[in-house]
Amino acid sequence: MDKIKLLIVDDHTVVRQGLRGFLELMDDFEIVGEGSNGVEAVRQAAELQPDVILLDLMMPEMDGIEATRRIRLANPAARILILSSFSNDDNVLPAIRAGAMGYVLKDIDPDDLADALRETYQGKSKLHPDIAQKLIAHVQQDEADEKTAVSPLDQLTERELDVLKQIAYGKSNHEIAAALSISHATVKTHVSNLLGKLHLADRTQAAILAIREGLVSDK
């Protein structure tokens, strides 16, 4: 049976020794390397090509988040499991965004850690329950923020929105005047006002914004 090749990176020698001692008792793991900082993690990940990298976050020279980002940049298929003492959002979310497949805490049961490594090797995400709750809450908050976000178009009058929609359709001022049954001079005033309110330089930018905000379809 092929063993799962592991690279262990932690700046505490005792932690690395403990992890190695435990994991080497498992028939399906092989420790192919160790590192004490993010720089070593990046170098050894490239040299050793481990199946899974067990990576600490708070390390000298380069932290685990930056190391994760660089490892994944060099090898998008790299599988990284974060093992950290910290569960705050400032660490968890950046680590996941950087490309870590999982995030577990150092108080994890050793057998659960072994299972987490196996799941990471299989391409599955593994998160400590507390961290999973944080991520769910973060996603829910993002969705709530999106629902309550104020559109820049909200500051326009109904007539200015009508004019902006016509601009997005590529209409000239004369064509807009005919379509809306208003004078050419009034159209020019509306165009000037809406560009000023939206802080846009020209009609092209106005058309792009109208499409982006869903005022008109780009199809």
In the three-class reduction of DSSP (H, G, I as helix; E, B as strand; rest coil), residue 46 is classed as helix
pLDDT given at position 187: 95
**Domains of the chain with CATH codes:** 4-144 (3.40.50.2300), 152-211 (1.10.10.10)
Question: Do β-strands 29-35 and 52-55 pair in parallel, antiparallel, or remain unpaired?
Answer: unpaired
User: Is pTM, for the whole model, over 0.75?
Assistant: no
What CA–CA distance (Å, rounded) separates 164 from 130? 47
Higher pLDDT, 92 or 120: 120
pLDDT given at position 130: 67
pLDDT given at position 117: 95
Tokens (6 digits) for 179: 């379509």
């994760």: which residue's tokens? 68
Tokens (6 digits) for 152: 């820049």
pLDDT given at position 208: 85
- Model pLDDT for residues 194-210, shown as the tens digit of each residue: 999 999 889 988 988 88
pLDDT given at position 215: 87
In the three-class reduction of DSSP (H, G, I as helix; E, B as strand; rest coil), residue 34 is classed as strand
pLDDT given at position 143: 57
Q: Residues 53-63: what's their mean pLDDT?
A: 94
DSSP 55-109: E-SS-SSS-HHHHHHHHHHH-TT--EEEEES--SHHHHHHHHHHT-SEEEETTS-
| Res. 193 pLDDT band, cuts 50 70 90 | very high
Tokens (6 digits) for 167: 């601009």
Phi/psi for 85 (5° steps) reads: -90, -10
